[in-house]
Structure 1
C-alpha cells in the first residue's frame, strides 16, 4: 500500500495541504496514522479525498458530503442518507405495469409457432422471456408482448425479423429515456443550482411534481412522435413501393 505525507497526498489529489487539513477537521477524512510526529496517509485517504473534490466540484457542500459519508459508513443506502425515501419511491416507481406469467415451450409455440434453440435464445436475449429452474418452462416478462407478436405472426411476419426490430427499437428508446433524464437533471440544476437536494416539505413537493410532470409529458410526446414517424415512414414506403411497381410494369410492357 502506498503511503503519503500530507504534502504528497495533496499534490497527488490536485489540492492543497490546507484543504486536506480543513476536510480532516470537518470529519470528511479519517485521521492519518502517526509515526512519531509524522502523519502518514494511505491510498484510502487518497481515494476519499478525490471523491470529496469531485463532489465539491458538482456543487455539494461540506455538510452534504459529511452526511453522505457518515450514512454510508453506517451501512445506509443513498436515499436513507439523504432522508428522501418518499422521493425515492416516486422516482423509482415503474412507469409500466406488465403482466408476467410462466409458460411452457409448448404454450409459447402455440402462439409463436415452432421455436428452435436459436429462436428461443433470441427471445431470451431480447428480454421477451426468461429462463427458470424448471427446464422447458419460461417466465414471460410481458404477456401483451407475446400476444402482439402472435398477432403479427398470424399475418405472415417471421418472428426472427420482428425480434430484430424489437431490439433495435428498444435501443433507440433507451437512448431517448437517457436524454429525457438528463434534461430533467439539467432543469433541476437550472432552477435550484448544482448539488441541490430537497430539505423541506415544499421542496420535496416541487421535486415530486417535476418528476410526475416529466413522466406525463415524456409519455405523450413519445406516443405523438412515434405516430408521426410511423405515418411518414409508411407514406415513404408506399411511394417507394409504387415507384418500383411502376418500373417493373414498364419493363414488363417493353419486353412484350
Structure 2
C-alpha cells in the first residue's frame, strides 16, 4: 500500500479513503499479503486527473462502479434517445492501439468528461465510430490526443448551438416529429458550410 501511494503521488491515508469509498478495486490477496498492480495505479492517476477537472468523488465513484461492474451503454453514454452514431466496442488494448502512447490518465479523464467513452462489462465503448476514426487519424498525423480532445470540447459547444438553431427553425414552423425526419438536412447544411469555410481558410493561407 505504501509503494502504491508513493507511485500515485498520494498519501496512504488518502489511498485507504479511496478503498473505503470503493473508488479502487480490492487488491489480490495471498494469505496476509495484499498485492496491487498497474491497474490500481492507473485508476488512482485517473481519479487524480478527474478531481483536477472538477469532478466530485461521488461522480468518480459512479464511474468506478461502471468500470468494475458494467452498466447499460445507453445510460453510460447518454444515448437513450435515437442516434445516427454507431458506438464502437473496444478492449483497453484496442483503445491503446488506436492512440499509441496517448492513452494517459489525463486524456482518459477528458474523454470520460466529454462522454466519448463508457463501459459495458469488460469492454470500453466509444460513443461514435466516426469520432474514433477521426481522432485516431489526427493523432497519427502527430497532433497530441489532449489537443484533439480540447478541440472536440470546443466543437461540441458550437455543434450544440447549431443544433439549437436548426431545431428552433423547424419547431417554429412544423410539428415536433418533423425534427427527426429533417435531421439529415441539418447535417447537409453544416457539412456544406464547413466545407466552404475551409475553402475560405485555405485561400487565406495561399
TM-score (norm 2): 0.43
Per the normalisation by structure 1, the TM-score is 0.36
Q: Which has the higher contact order (CA 8 A, sep 6+)?
A: 2
